[in-house]
Amino acid sequence: MREHDDEPVRGLPEALPAGERLLWQGAPDWRAFARQAFHLRKLAVYFGLALAWNAVSMTTDGADFATVALATARFLGLAVFALALLAGFGWLVARTTVYSITDRRVVVRFGVALSMTVNIPFRVIEQASARRHADGTGDVVLTLVKGHNLAYLVMWPHVRPWRFARAMPMLRALPDGEAAAEVLAGALAAYAYPIATERSADAGGVQAPASAAA
């Protein structure tokens, strides 16, 4: 039996309350997640430059070819090991993460060693925004109403980087980021203006309010 096999609904700690509907679920693309959250490409470039600099420095200092080659091989081995370790951790994080959007809240289930589930009700979401990466994946970033902060370290890496004082939860490296953003925008609009939503149903769609635009 795997850790999350006992979930009544995938990604959720309990069955949805009566009247609440699950609108969307997704998980990070692990390759994109590892690149974006752990900066694998930047680290690879850094290791490459450090490797070249070390080899040039040793050669300039008079080291023979065998010594330089051995030192380079050792450094390269350590660099590859470090990058593989981060990539593996990225795979584990993505594998244990599920993002869910219902018609009342956003739910983030995550945790490699210790699984956690964070519920973010629509009433505490001030704004949602989407951004697209060059590799085709996307993020959905949530700005919370003041006074409803989440701990950055608890949510990391499912938060916008470098926003420590006011952590911004993030659905990260989604293969279908645009679809998730559209679902969330519609759900926030329906939550904020339920009567207008019902009236506009015959018109063929719902337009999210500016504060909930994704």
Q: What is the pLDDT of residues 55-108, one digit of tens each?
A: 999 888 888 888 889 999 999 999 999 999 999 999 999 999 999 999 999 999
- Predicted confidence band at 6 (pLDDT cuts at 50, 70, 90)? low
Pick the CATH number of 98-212 from 2.30.29, 3.40.50, 3.90.1200, 1.10.3210: 2.30.29
142-159 as b/e: b if 16+ CB within 10 A:
bbbeeeeebebeebebbb
**CA separation, residue 4 to residues 12, 98, 105, 107, 116 (Å):** 10, 11, 21, 15, 11
Q: What is the pLDDT of residues 10-59, one digit of tens each?
A: 878 788 889 899 999 999 999 999 999 998 999 999 999 999 998 999 88
| 32 membership: H or E segment, kind and range | helix 30-38
Sign of CA dihedral 84, 90, 92, 95: negative
SS3 91: helix
Q: What is the pLDDT of residues 115-149, one digit of tens each?
A: 899 999 999 999 999 999 988 999 999 999 988 88
What does pTM read for this prediction? 0.79
- Residues with Cβ within 8 Å of 153's Cβ and at least 6 positions away in sequence, in order, are none
Is residue 141 a contact partner of residue 128, using CB atoms and an 8 Å limit? yes
Q: Which residue has the tokens 């925008």?
A: 185
Sheet with 138-144, strands from edge to edge, namely 125-132, 138-144, 170-174
Task: Check whether 202 has a pLDDT greater than 90.
Answer: no
Task: Check whether 208 has a pLDDT greater than 80.
Answer: no
Task: Check whether 1 has a pLDDT greater than 80.
Answer: no
What is the residue-averaged pLDDT of the chain?
85
Is residue 31 a contact partner of residue 119, using CB atoms and an 8 Å limit? no
Is residue 107 a contact partner of residue 99, using CB atoms and an 8 Å limit? yes
- Predicted confidence band at 197 (pLDDT cuts at 50, 70, 90)? very low
- Predicted confidence band at 163 (pLDDT cuts at 50, 70, 90)? confident
Residue ranges of domains in the chain: 33-93, 98-212
Residue 78: CA atoms inside 13 Å, Cβ hemisphere, count? 9
- Residues with Cβ within 8 Å of 145's Cβ and at least 6 positions away in sequence, in order, are 123, 124, 125, 126
Pairing of strands 170-174, 22-26: unpaired
Task: Give the residues across from 116 on adjacent strands.
Answer: 110
Please give the pLDDT value at position 4.
Answer: 52
Q: What is the pLDDT of residues 176-191, one digit of tens each?
A: 989 999 999 999 999 8
User: What number of H helices and E strands is found in the chain?
Assistant: 6, 7
